[in-house]
Amino acid sequence: MRRGALALVVACAATLVGTMPADAADRWTVSLTGAVTAAVARTGDGGLTFAATRGATTVLAPAPLGVRTKTADLTRDLRFLRRTDRIVDEHYAMTTGKQLRRHARAAETTLAFEGAGGTRLDVVVRAAADGVAYRYVLPGTGPVTITGEASSFTPPATAPAWLLPYSPNYENVRVETTASTAKAGDYGFPSLFDTGDGTYTLLTESDVDGRYSGARLTHIAGTTDYAIKLADASVTATGPFATPWRVAITGDLSTVTASTLVDDLAPPSKLADTSWIRPGKVAWSWLSEHDSPGDPVRQKQYADFAARNGWPYLLIDEGWDASWVPDVVRYARARGVEVILWFRWTTLDTAAERAKWLPLVKSWGAAGIKVDFMDSDTQARFRFYDDIAAATAQQRLMINFHGATIPRGLQRTWPHVMSFEAVRGAEQFKTRAATNTMFPFTRNVVGSMDYTPTAFVVSDRDTTDAHEVATFFVYESGWQHGADKPENYEARPEALRTLDQLPTVWDETRLLSGRPGQEAVFAKRSGERWFVGGIEAGPAKTVDAPLDFLGHGRWLADTLRDGPAGLLREKSAVSAGGRLSVPVAKNGGFVTVLCPAWPGRTTCDEEIRQVPATSLSVTPETAEATAGTTVEVKATFRLPAGAPLLDVELGPAAPAGWTVTGRPVFRPVLFAGQPVSGTWRFTAAAAAAPGTTDLPIAATYRFRGRSVHVEDATSVFVPPPVPVGTAQVSALPFLASSNGWGPVERDQSNGDTAEGDGRPLTIGGTVYAHGLGTNAPSSVTVWLGGACTAFSAVTGVDDEVTEEASVGFRVLGDDGRVLAETPVLRPGDGAHPLTADVTGVRRLTLQVTDGGDGKDSDHGDWADAQLTCAAP
């Protein structure tokens, strides 16, 4: 809650209901329906406790409340001032999740206290039908530093517990234990306890952002105390100040899994327009083929797979290169597939980096990004989440957080956040059936979960093929990344048929049966269709699921399950009030699609909407220009065959530093065989950046309710000034560069993944002031414009390498002609001088190869790389 919002809530509460005195026992209760009740009580030393009950069952025994700041101890000697009550009643819509339209209703009480020295502390408590929550408010103004919380939860001692040993990426194996016998240590949210009498309680938090740090639970062995532990030793903010909510979702397992309490407690959406946000299935190659994200040809094959099957996205993971990504994006978009690009978070952790990369990937036509390896719950890292969420929203780029923290309501506040990882996903372990059945009751309750499901490629897993398919359904993620390659899906056509029919967002979600570590069977609705599916951990059995949620009449049921010889598809007719019985193999699963049995209806499958094949030709393909000159571009768009296209518009987009004249051409209907053509003039500004720039022409149209973008471009080269005299290569602008690890570094070694993190260039004990630091495979192209005659450098493996490495150096002229090269060099070989005649060469490329044995530790230096050129 932001400062302004905080003031508004407090003011509204006071205006609506006034104040009431404390009761005689210094105990205050908050309840919406009477089923779930929160209780705050004052202890003999003036401290506070928090407890919760569901009916007659105590789910959380009294446990301490309070905070400590640098100037005040607000955990004791608190004097009660007043109580303020109100009802929170909100309707809101989500772009992702288990239920798109939400109704949040809760009773809220603010208990105002005063500590020693007159410092104020408000405890705000909410009670809803599905749980309770509290937060602290420090109403004073000015800076405040919190050094810790007294906050703690106390579940019943014998309560079975499903706990996650804490790590900042939340990827450890969840363990089954009890509240009192759990090992000492830190546990990550969310933590689930079976608190008795059919009631489960899930502990987590909500509304964490850069004003605070993330928290976890810390447990002392032999006790039932689970205390809040902040990621930072202290947190500094500006008052008035509200901490995150401490949340206890409680009820039967159906209530817990259906709960939206974490989102209900989060700030409302910051986006007025969410029309550009589109969840969906994603084709993704990294898990099944680690090197494939670096192969544009293979990525186009994944785009073709996505297009054939109606999957709206392709994720190009670690390894992509800016030299070919725009081409792959255009290829995919022409087939109705949008592209997501992977980033290491350190590439985007400053405002300057975000200002550089986000507009660029947007200009390429990317729909979103995946950001990886944040691996921290500190206040500083949550400030990064704030910054990157705002920056991507500004560019209308969706985002997925991988190597990340858990959701804490961010998907409500920033609806373009499609998913978080924060789970031990399909890539990480093979014995997974039991753990898989824990996730629906724990991690996935609090928000989208990027598990990357359905990985047939993991051949020695303990799950069946039907179990793998069912994870795609059981787990909720706005972007659902299919983890396998096209060939493995197409080798199982019945599995692929089911995957093609599965939505990734839902109108309703209901748990039908299950228990963590054993079984999870859900019913979910999307439009008129219901889907029922589940995953099992244990021996073969028959799942008998009630169908009382169906509407009247007969329904078709199309079930995919494991059979004696592989995946098996069965059809049946069912009705509301009946039951669905499905034989399930050991560690198996199933997915059933249900639809009204209209007369003549034989399938529940919806049509896969493939976009038609079109052509867009742009001439010229390439051009060269100088600042202030004009390039004329002609384009023709055609639909060779098929149903007509609607609202066709063909037009240009001026890149930065260019202007364009000529209006777009519009056709309300375009029939097969009819061309749409136009001519536009692009003019380079005097300050146009040197290098290669695309002058794009795009055709957009509507087809069967879908908007499709087809683009091609003239590639125009604006030469930079030619080098003169004796020129250091590290001082020249790069026309293109790529590197096997992090960026190519100027005048320092490769270092790590961040720009400028290298060391002095050192080969064989000699330090060089100038040159390039790379990690193979790498390539750097610079402009000579025919003005130079000689190149020289000292090459070798940088002395910072302490492990095995092997590199080779090549000097290439125009058209890839090899001008000079070294043998394979290794640590200890020392410096290897390299010279080349570059007379007449316009583009010079310096390559470092990996010696044929992989890129690990292959730090290759072009030390003292210089050119001999014409005199100025």
Side chain identity at residue 500, one-letter code: D
Phi, psi angle pair for 12, to nearest 5°: -60, -40
Using the CB atoms, write b or e for 234-258: b if 16+ within 10 Å. Answer: ebebebbbbbbbbbbbbbebbbbbb
CB distance 832 to 795 below 8 Å: yes
Side chain identity at residue 543, one-letter code: V
- d(CA 514, CA 585) in angstroms, rounded, equals 16
DSSP string, 656-718: TTEEEESPPEEEEEE-TT-EEEEEEEEEE-TTPPSEEEEEEEEEEEEETTEEEEEEEEEEEEE
482 closest CA partner among 715, 302, 233: 302
* Dihedral of the alpha carbons of 611, 705, 392, 331, in degrees to the nearest 10: 10
Residues ≥6 apart with Cβ < 8 Å to 175: 162, 163, 164, 165, 182
Q: Tell me the C-alpha to C-alpha distance, in Å, between residue 67 and each of 121, 147, 239, 300.
A: 9, 8, 14, 55
What are the structure tokens assigned to 55, written together? 């009916």
For tokens 């996650």, name the residue.
164
Q: Tell me the C-alpha to C-alpha distance, in Å, between residue 5 and each of 52, 89, 92, 140.
A: 27, 16, 17, 15
- d(CA 68, CA 75) in angstroms, rounded, equals 7
CB distance 502 to 591 below 8 Å: yes
3-state SS assignment for residue 497: helix
- DSSP bridge partners of 458: none
Using the CB atoms, write b or e for 134-149: b if 16+ within 10 Å. Answer: bbbbbbbeeebebebb
Q: How many CB atoms lie within 10 A of CB 218?
A: 16
Please measure the distance between the N-terminal and C-terminal CA atoms of the chain and give it in whole angstroms: 61
User: Can you give the C-alpha Rg of the chain in angstroms?
Assistant: 30
- d(CA 571, CA 548) in angstroms, rounded, equals 19
- d(CA 861, CA 794) in angstroms, rounded, equals 8
CA 8, distance to chain mean position in Å, is: 32
779 closest CA partner among 812, 757, 751, 756: 812
What are the structure tokens assigned to 538, written together? 């244990």
What are the structure tokens assigned to 744, written together? 């190519």
- DSSP bridge partners of 125: 109, 134
- d(CA 351, CA 338) in angstroms, rounded, equals 26
- DSSP bridge partners of 667: 648
> How long a stretch of residues is the chain?
872
CB distance 123 to 150 below 8 Å: no
Helix (H) or strand (E) holding 91: strand 79-93
- d(CA 862, CA 81) in angstroms, rounded, equals 71
172 closest CA partner among 386, 361, 380, 435: 435
CB distance 483 to 493 below 8 Å: no
For tokens 């800016």, name the residue.
322
- DSSP bridge partners of 633: 680
Phi, psi angle pair for 134, to nearest 5°: -145, 155
Could you give the residue numbers annotated as active site?
A: 372, 427
